Structures are given as structure tokens and as C-alpha cells.
Structure 1
Amino acid sequence: MTETSLPAPVVGRDLRKTFRRETGEVVTALDGVSLAVGTGSLTALVGPDGAGKTTLLRLMCGLMPPDAGDLAIMGIDVTAAPQAVQDILGYMPQKFGLYEDLSVQENLDLYADLHGVSLEQRRAVYPRLMEMTQLGRFRDRLAGKLSGGMKQKLGLACTLVRAPQLLLLDEPTVGVDPLSRRELWEIVLKLVREDGLTVVVSTSYLDEAERCDHAVVMHAGRVLAQGAPAEIMAEAAGCTFLATAPEGMPARSLQARLFALPRVIDAVPEAGRVRVVRASAEDRAPLAIDGADIPLEAVPARFEDGFMMLFHAVADEGVRNTMTVRTPRTGGGDAVVVEVHDLVRTFGDFTAVDHVSFQVRRGEIYGLLGPNGAGKSTTFRMLCGLLPASGGTLRVAGADLRTSRAAARERLGYVAQKFSLYGQLSVDENLDFFASAYGLRGGRKRERIAWAKQQFELDRFSDLASGQLPGGFKQRLAMAAALLHEPEILFLDEATSGADPLARREFWGRITSLSEQGVTVIVTTHFMEEAEYCDRILILDAGRSLAEGTPAEVRSRADTTDGRPPTMEDAFIAIVEKARQERNNGPARSAA
């Protein structure tokens, strides 16, 4: 059989799939989806939570049948022969089943055993997998002791252990830091470009879709558009600009105001300015804020701009609602509300946080950035009073957390990376529980719950179990619960991980509104563009401070590449790589 006569890796026609919730509501996950994937190509499935990406991948794997439509993998009818399909493809779900009490090598061996990979085949494939993933020197380390990025690479290695003909990856880089994300994509691109493997990947990172050969843009179970990334970019041709904020106005404040304008499709901070997508290339009227025209500079469109143009036509305009927040109890000003000096946290002989110091002033948005395992979450838990420090001083909202953690927690709000409310309780029951836990009673409690439901558009989900909420509304409920008691300081730990671009715009619009009214916000994120919303950021690695400053000061530490100014991601990678190189080479230089 010649290469041109090989069956296409994936052909789907008019695929439909529905699910029934416990409440009896029927949810349409796929509504007439058709697509074709070329041999040796890299295809991206992009779209918001609930678009149908994961359902489509699970249909391709034969894990569930479609209600209607036809789907063939390598010429095999998936509905008729799901096992035959599963024998020739590799599938890495969002939560890959690593065994954390087994070593790297033992996990690989287990998956090789499950897939019937012979010893001879293992001798051929293991060295390449170890080299590709750079896990060779960690063969004996328990999977549970690996960083998030290393776990993802091990999951990918286990998926590739039997050399599949088709590789399906469901959000492989969610929750992964920029350095690990880059390394994962180097592996994927190598598999496609050098080995000719066909790969289908779902992703929340639209810059990742821009690297693919083919992109399928989905929303509410339907395909909005598909084609080469350049075709998606063309949707925004002539509509993209960089706006300069008036003197004294932070870029995030300009972003929130521009995003609320009726003929603006998108606005997002970018290198101290705001990237704007207008509704039409024919829109030539000046954009004005508070009566002042905003200078605009035309720039080429990118994939995210085209995505937002497509999405705007079908999205709920409710996401553009502005947020109303009361003034914090202790008022405004620029007083220091978080003061950390020589903070240390050890676990046995392991130092997770190593003499970290910083200050945060009232109303600031302060970002803690770092690779997986850098010490961000440990620092966060100490700041929230959830974990005692091993050394140093830590004052939050006027309280010494080494002696008065309970007093400090009353003035804090916290939104975790993973949905941490009670999934079996309804939206109303969760809000009622957390309002009581924060000491709200009577009319005051009813007032704050009503505010939260109206502000976050949760009324229509009042009786729905929170675990069944669409992903974006889980995030809204978590934020609503955290704000019920009007905290002075809000902690956000990877709160937008896995969220689509529109949900992140909505989220940051709310955070900007909180900041402008005096609420202090401390945030961790792996989306480097979100660091542009911060007043200052601190980059950590191996528990130590590497760099602190405004976004502009941090960006200045990276070199210009390809004739373009450095991005925050460029700076993050440059700072972390330089520190690791110095750390690794330090002893050798000293000996010399």
C-alpha cells in the first residue's frame, strides 16, 4: 500500500453526543461535528470549557460511542471495533494515571506490560524516550516526587511506550510552567516533524494552536471554524492594534475600560500597552476613555485575535458586566499589608522556601511566578495561615502569622487552583455554608449571598450541585465564596488554570475592579501574559527569589529575539535558565 493510499488518521462526520445530568437536564456535548485529520499532521482542538473537546477525544479513543454520525480512526469504524482502535493509538487524558508510589522506570514498565511491549521493543524505545523527556537521571525517583512538568513528561513517555500510530493529548500543558511547557512542545513537534506521527491535541493556550498545522475552533459542541492557523488569524486582519494608556493609568485599567466598549472584541495587556481587537477593519473612529482619545498603533493579527473574533459572534455578552465591590473595611492608602522577611519552610531535610523576602502594599496586584516546584504554593499556604513557617517573619493584614493565624484569616479570601468547594452541595448550599463560616448572619448574610449570585450570574444554577457546574461557573462560584465576607486581601492560586481566554478576560476584569477599590491581590499563574496585570512580580525557583520588579523591569532582563521586544515568557525562561545554570556551574567555578 502506498503512502497516498493509507486511510486518513481521523475522519468524523456529523458527530453528535448528549449527556443527562442528575437533575434530568440534557446537555449537548457534540452537535454535528465534522473533521478530518491529515497523516503526519499536528491538529489543535481549541475552545472554551464545555466546547466538546474532551468528549470528541474520548469518542476517537472508543471510550464511548457517538449518539449519531460516523467516526473512523485509521480506516477503522470506532463504534464497531473500539478495541482495534485502542490497540493502535495513544491517549493522554488531562489526569493521566501515573502510580505515584512507583518510580519513573516502574511506571514505564507497567504501561509496557499493559500494552504487551516485548523486552526487545523496550530496549529499542526506552533510551529514546528517556533522552526525549530528559527523565533518564530520574529513573529511580517516585512519580509522586516529580514536579508537575516532569509528571506530564512521564505521562507522555508512558503513552508513547508502544509507538502508537495516532497520539491524542487532552490539555497536556494545563498547570505546567512556561519552561516545562516549552519542553513538552519540543517533544511533540519532534514526534510530528521528525517521526511523522499524527497528533491531535486540545489546548487552552492559543499560542500553542498557532504552532499546529490545522486548528479546529469549537464552541458549545459545534465547530465554528477549522483550517490552517493563518486562516483563523485572517478573521482579525486589519482589526488589531496596540493602545497606549494615558499617563498614570495602569495598562490593566485601560484594558478593563476598553473591553467594556461595544465595538471592541478583545483587549488584553501586552508589554505595558493594551492589545485591542476591533469589531471590523472599517472601524476608524478613535477610541476614547473619559473623553480622551487613546493612541492606537496597527499590528498584525495573531491566532488569539482570530479566535476572539469567531468567539465573539456566539459568546454571551454577560461576561462584560462590570463588578461592584464595596470599599474594604480598613479603607485605602498605600500601607504595607503583607510583609515577608527571610521566610523559610522546610519539610524534613528539604527546603521548599529559602529566605524569601517581599512586601505588598494595599490595592496592589502582586504576582508570584515560578516553575513547578519553585515554592509558590508553599509560600501561598503560609501567607494564608494554612501552614506554619519554619523561620522568618510573616505579617498579613497587621497580624503576625506565627502567633495570630486565625485573626489574619478573617481578613483574607482564597481561591484555589482546583475547585475546592463542596461538589455534592448546590450553589446555594455552598454560599450559605461559606457565609456562615465567615461569621455572616441574618440580613447581612442574605444580602451578601444575593450580591454574589447577582454579580457572578449564578441565579440560574441555584439548585444545581456545584460539581456539575460548567468549568467557568465553578470558577465564578469559588470567587463568589471567597468574596462573601469582603476580604481585604485576596489570594488566587493558579485560579485561571485551564480556563479559556474569554473566561480569563472576565476574571481579570473583576480583579482589576477589586484592586481599584483597595483590595490587595496576590496571585500565582502559569500564564505569563497574566503577569502584565500585576503591579509587581516576584520570580522564584528552588525556593529562592530570582527577580522582583514591575513587569517592565522584569521584561528588560531578556534579550530581544527575532526583532521583537521580549515578552514576559521570554524573560521568565531567561531568568530561570540563567539561575539554574549558575547554580549548576557554581561549585565547578569555585573549585577552579
Structure 2
Amino acid sequence: MGETLARFENVTRGFGKGPPALDGVSGEIGGGEITGLVGPDGAGKTTLIRLMTGLMLPDSGHVEVLGIDTARSPQRIQNLIGYMPQRFGLYEDLSVQENLDLYADLRGLPRDERPSAFDELLTFTDLKRFTGRLAGKLSGGMKQKLGLACALLKKPRLLLLDEPGVGVDPISRRELWKMVEDLTKEGIGVVWSTAYLDEAEACDRVLLLNGGKLLFSGPPSELTGRVAGRVYKLLDVDGRRQVLTRVLQRPGTVDGVIQGEAIRLVLASNMPPAVDEIAGAGARLNPAEPRFEDAFVDLLGGGPDGRSKLAEATTALPAADGHPVIEARGLTKRFGDFTAADNISFSIPRGQIFGLLGPNGAGKSTTFKMLCGLLRPTSGDGRVAGFDLRRDTAEARNRLGYMAQKFSLYGDLSVAQNLDFFAGVYGLGGQRRRERISLMTEIFDFGSHLKMSAKDLPLGLKQRLALACAALHEPEALFLDEPTSGVDPITRREFWTHINGLVEKGITVLVTTHFMEEAEYCDRISLIYRGRSIALGSPDELKARVARTDNPDPTMEDAFVTLVRNSDLENAA
């Protein structure tokens, strides 16, 4: 570790009557490196960052930044650091340049220094071509780059980034990461807060928080090494979702996730059980390289047990009859002279998960909204459960459940009021309405939160409430638009336990996601880029398309990035 830029000793900070957000946390931040501040939703990451900015003070303990006590000179610290909060305050009605001008004023950047600073930052972030574009019209990745530029207007010695990768596609995340790595070469210390554990793995050091406690401090490889010899891939499995559910309920299984056609397992010991006991004849159990995420889940005591009370309470649909449940036929959407989606076609049979992947602004959300009946196509047709979305909109919508990207609940309504409202939207009444609301309250353990406003819920509970509202009426199809963006791995596993269980009951799922390991749960994927589908196939098929001698076992993220770049090369030729 380089020069110590921040130090906190035995820091405790609480809010109200509940347990403290931080409880006796100690650690250091070094210069010239990226320190990952890692942990689930509610772990205390944002609280620790805000303590380092001097925007709040600890209840007890000591925080020192750049040799300055935060309790004595917070304003001096704020003049020397860069800070990009989780919801960065860009003004969406101002252009890129106007946002830079405003933040230069707020940071007190002398006018004679502005032209060179703007030129350097616009070059660094590759935003020179977009200085006249309104911030509200930028993609998610471009907004994060502009936020980073604003935080760097006065070059800081310490840069604090609170979950900069949330909602950003893999290509933009890689670009953002490369930019931050370049800053560390100048000696700048960077704190990168994240719930994405692939980001944590790339940090020089990590501080791992959970429930306000510091569980680990050190290089990521040190924690990953703790599960060496206990990670396996279960291959040639018949019925991977059912097998995963069984395996997760076995003693000795710490964690399990679907990885294409395989199942990735973390076991309690390095003595694996006989394969035929857990997956039947013909299956193979091969050792796999451990990941930081494997060690993280192991440290937290393991993932959920694979049982979904939601799926158990859901009526099974009839077996597939060969007709698609969701179908897109040449779907096209134009906004003026801009084509957001161009001739998108695919069909999804009963009981499958289909993923729409693509960079920010590629057209996947537009396609998604047309199939929900929320956006009328310029041309082409969409069908849900046999109903045409143009002619039979109401009937089609009653067959689907929708979980929106920007959290579709009503923040000023309580948990109970949201459940009641969505029950009415989906046409539930009388005894059936009361039974379903009561069931969702029990399944998702909402009892002690029923009177809370939805906007005040922790992110994991918001996500559970959104899923409960979407599944209230037992739909034939679930539409999930980036459903787990920003949530921690344990909550994400819980979510997919429910989805896997529902799919086994015959429900069909259409999902968009920026989390590439989540895409592995899909049966098939359409990769959307610049409004068109550039690849269609299973996760394993897409990965096989980009496998090379130097990378024989590519990740889903490798496939995403390579296929998009290959499309650019083909279009440029």
C-alpha cells in the first residue's frame, strides 16, 4: 500500500433505534491503488464513504483524511478530495458542458484553468463529441463518465466513488474501470464501493463489510484462497434447475448457481460427494477456479437453500403445447428519424427464461416495453399468451407480470398499499385478492414492514416487494427489466431461486440485465446492439462463438464485449 490517505479507527455510526450502520470499523485507504469497499445492500458502505467526506461525523471513533481530522476541518477535506455519490447530482436539463461549468463554479476552479481542465477531462472520458447533449439524454455509462469528470475538475488526491458500476453495461464498466486505473498511476487513491463482486476481484485491496461489521481487509486473492479446492462445476446435467434445488438442500453445499448448462458449486469440504448421488448417471463434477464471489458467499455462511415458497404456492401451468408464450415478429420502433429497435424477432416457449442483453441505449428496453404493451411499435407485432398486443392489449397485460427497471412501485404508498393497488391493477378482487396479498406478505416476510413507505425500504426489500406485486395474479409470463441491479449476491440468489422455481411451474420469463453472470440463468439470449439483434443462442453457444486459443473458456462478459466489438468491425468494413 502506498501513502496512507485515509484512516478510520473503531468507527461507529448509528441512525435511529436500529443496529448501527457501522460498528467498530477500522481500516486504511492507500494512495496509488483501488480499494474496494464491498458488501451487501445495507452493509454500511455509503455511511463509511460519507464519513470520509466529512459530510457526517461518527458517533464514536476517529476519521482522518489527508492528515486532517474530519471533525475539525470537513470543508478543507472536501476541497481536496473528489466524491461521486451513488445518485450523482447531474442536472439532466443541462448539457454536458453546462454541467461541467456548473461544477467548476461549485468547486471554485479558476476561470483561466478551466479550458485546459475541460479539454483534458473530455478527452479522458471520451465525451468531446457530446458537449452539447443534455445530460438526461446520455446513456447510463456516459452519465457515469460525466459524473467522474465533474468529480475530477480539481484533481484530487483521494477519489471516492459510491457504486459507480450500478446500471452500467459491461463495456461501459470496463471503460470506467480503465479510466480509474489510469488515475491510480498518478498516485491518486481510489475507493470504489460495489456490490458487484467481479469488480471487487479487480481491486488492489478490499474492505468487506456486512451488517456494519468489517469481515475482511486485504488483497482479494487472500480471501479467494480460502475456498480453493472446494469449488466445482457440475456438467452434463439433466434438468439443471431441479438438480440445483436438490443440491442446495444437501448438507455440505455452501452455494450453487447456474452457469450456462452447468452448475457451479461451493462445498463445505474438499471431499465432494459421489456425482450420481446429487445429479444422476452421466453427470460429471470437475474442479473449478475459485472466484471472490465464492469466498464472499462462503464467508457470509452460504446462499439460500434453493427452496422457493413463492413457486411452491404457484399453480403449475399445463405442459408446453408448442405455441410460444411470448413472440416478437419484426418489432420496430422509430422516434422521428432515430430507429431504437429494428426488426427484432424471437419466440419463447412455455417454461423458459429468455434474456435481452445489450449496451446502454442499444434498444433492449424499447423492445421489452413493446412486448409489455407499454410502447406501440412503429411496425411488426408482439404477442403474449396468444394475444396480439395491438388488438388485445388488456387481455395480454392480464397474462403478464411486470417488474420495471426504475422500480415500478409507488414510493409514497406503504408496502400494504402497494400490494393492494397492484392487486386491483391485475383484476384481483374479493377473497382471492385478500388471499394473494396475505400469501405474499407471508412468503416475503413483509409483516413488520407493511406500514413502511416503499421509498424507505432497503434495496433488497424493494426488490422483493416489486417481485411480489408482479407475481400477485399468477401470470403466465414475467417481464423483468434489470430486476437485481445493485443488489447483493445473497439477495440476487434468493431472487433467482424464486424465478427458477416459477419457471419449473411453467411460467415464461423475459429478462434484461447488465449482470453477465445473471445472464447464465437464461435458456437463450438475444444480444441487441444499435437497435438490431446481433446474436441469438444459449449462453454456452454465445461463449463458444468467441472462444480462442488464448481464452478457451470465456466468460459471458467476454462474449458480450467481443460480439459487440465484432459487430462494430463488420459495420466499419
Amino acid of the structure 1 residue aligned with 2:239: M
Asked whether 1:199 is paired with 2:199, we answer no
**Is 1:133 equivalent to 2:122 in the alignment?**
no
**Number of the residue aligned with 2:206:** 215
Question: 1:302–1:336: structure 2 CA closer, same or farther, 3 Å change rule?
Answer: same
Give the whole-Å Cα distance in 2 for the aligned partners of 1:281 and 1:290.
18
Structure 2: runs of 5 or more not aligned: none
Q: Is 2:341 aligned against 1:353?
A: yes
CA contact 1:235–1:310 (8 Å) conserved in 2? no
Q: Is the alpha carbon distance of 1:464 and 1:553 closer, same or farther for their aligned partners in structure 2, counting shifts above 3 Å? A: same
How many Å separate the matches in 2 of 1:470 and 1:229? 27
Name 2:14's counterpart in structure 1.
Answer: 18
Query: What per-residue deviation string (whole Å, max 9, x for no partner) do you get for residues 515-554 of structure 1?
Result: 1111000000001111111111101011111111111221
Q: For residue 28 of structure 1, report the CA deviation from its aligned partner.
A: 1.9
The one-character-per-residue Cα deviations of 1:249-291 (angstroms, maximum 9, x if unpaired) are 23x4433332333321111223532221112335656573366
Quote the Cα distance in structure 2 between the aligned partners of 1:43 and 1:463.
38
TM-fit CA distance, 1:126:
2.6
Q: 1:54 aligns with which of 46, 61, 82?
A: 46
1:95 maps to what in 2? 87
The 5-angstrom pairing of residues 49-448 of structure 1 reads 49-192=41-184, 194-246=185-237, 248-250=238-240, 252-281=241-270, 288-289=277-278, 295-312=284-301, 321-322=308-309, 323-327=311-315, 332-448=320-436
Q: Which has the higher mean CA deviation after the structures are superposed, 482-491 or 432-441?
A: 432-441
Taking the aligned partners of 1:243 and 1:549, their CA distance within structure 2 comes to 21
Which amino acid in structure 2 is aligned with residue 197 of structure 1? I
Query: How far did residue 98 of structure 1 move?
Result: 1.2
> 2-side partners of 1:72 and 1:264: how far apart?
42
Secondary structure at the aligned position of 1:417 is classed as: coil
- 8 Å contact 2:159–2:189 — kept in the other structure? yes
Q: Point out the more displaced range, 465-474 or 168-177.
A: 465-474
Q: CA deviation at 1:565?
A: 1.0
Identical residues among aligned pairs (%): 52
CA RMSD of aligned residues (A): 2.1
Distance of aligned partners of 1:521 and 1:11 in 2 relative to their CA distance in 1, 3 Å threshold: same
**Does the 8 Å CA contact 1:325/1:517 hold for their aligned counterparts?**
no
Q: Which amino acid letter does the alignment assign opposite residue 15 of structure 2?
A: F
Structure 1 unmatched runs, 5+: 587-592
Following superposition, the deviation at residue 120 of structure 1 comes to: 3.7
Check whether the contact 1:438–1:485 (CA below 8 A) recurs between aligned residues: yes
* 2:496 is aligned with 1:508: yes
**Structure 1 residue ranges (4+ consecutive) displaced by more than 6 angstroms after TM superposition:** none
Q: Give the Cα separation in 2 of the matches to 1:259 and 1:191.
A: 42
CA distance in 1, matches of 2:91, 2:279: 57
2:31–2:158 Cα contact (<8 Å) kept: no
Cα separation, partners in 2 of 1:81 and 1:287, compared to 1, 3 Å: farther
Tell me the alpha carbon deviations over residues 107-127 of structure 1, each in whole angstroms, 9 at most, x when there is no partner: 112211211212343333333
Shift in Å, 1:328: 5.3
Distance 1:318 1:300 in 2: 23
How far did residue 474 of structure 1 move?
A: 1.0
Change (3 A) 1:343 1:503: same
Q: Report the CA distance shift for 1:82/1:258 in structure 2 as closer, same or farther (over 3 A).
A: same
Amino acid aligned to 2:12: R
Q: Which amino acid aligns with 1:354?
A: D
- Residue 103 (structure 1) shift: 1.8
The answer (yes or no) to whether the contact 2:317–2:505 under 8 Å persists in 1 is: no
DSSP 3-state at the match of 1:451: helix
C-alpha deviation, 1:455, in angstroms: 1.9
How far apart are the structure 2 equivalents of 1:437 and 1:136? Answer: 46
Deviations 1:169-212 (A, max 9, x none): 011010001111110011011111x2111000111211111111
Tell me, yes or no, if the aligned pair for 2:95 and 2:133 is still in contact at 8 Å.
yes
> Quick one: which amino acid aligns to residue 140 of structure 1?
G
CA contact (8 A) 1:411 1:489 kept: yes
Q: Distance in 2 between matches of 1:284 and 1:175?
A: 39
Shift in Å, 1:43: 0.3
Out of 48-57 and 274-283, give the one that drifted further.
Answer: 274-283
Query: Structure 1 residues 226 and 324 mapped into 2: Cα distance closer, same or farther (>3 Å)?
Result: same
SS in 2 for 1:9: strand
How far residue 443 of structure 1 moved from its aligned partner, in angstroms, is 1.8
The whole-number CA distance in structure 2 between the counterparts of 1:202 and 1:212 is 10
Q: What is the alpha-carbon distance in structure 1 between the residues aligned to residue 164 and residue 246 of structure 2?
A: 34
Aligned residue for 1:49, secondary structure, equals coil
- Deviation (angstroms), 1:332: 3.9
Count of equivalent residues: 572
Distance 1:320 1:164, change over 3 A: farther
Cα shift at 1:573: 0.7
For the 8 Å contact 1:417–1:495, the answer to whether it is kept is yes
Greater mean deviation of Cα atoms: 208-217 or 128-137: 128-137
Q: 1:554 aligns with which of 531, 535, 542?
A: 542
CA distance in 2, matches of 1:488, 1:73: 54
SS of residue matched to 1:195 = coil
The corresponding residue for 1:570 is 558
**Residues 311-368 of structure 1 deviation map (CA, whole Å, 9 limit, x = unaligned):** 117x8x6885553142356664342122211111111221111111111111110000
Q: After TM superposition, give the deviation of residue 60 of structure 1 in Å.
A: 0.8
Letter in 2 for 1:203: T
Alignment check: 8 A CA contact 2:523 2:539 kept = yes
Structure 2 counterpart of 1:374, which letter? Answer: A
**Separation in 2, partners of 1:350, 1:213:** 42
Q: 1:368·1:525 contact (CA, 8 Å) conserved in 2?
A: yes
Cα pair 1:288 1:294 within 8 Å, conserved: no
Q: Measure how far apart 1:582 and its partner are.
A: 2.6
* Shift in CA distance, 561/188, structure 1 to aligned 2, threshold 3 Å: farther
TM-score of the pair, normalised by structure 2: 0.95
Which residue of structure 2 lines up, in the alignment, with residue 536 of structure 1? 524
Q: What secondary structure sits across from 1:31 in the alignment?
A: strand
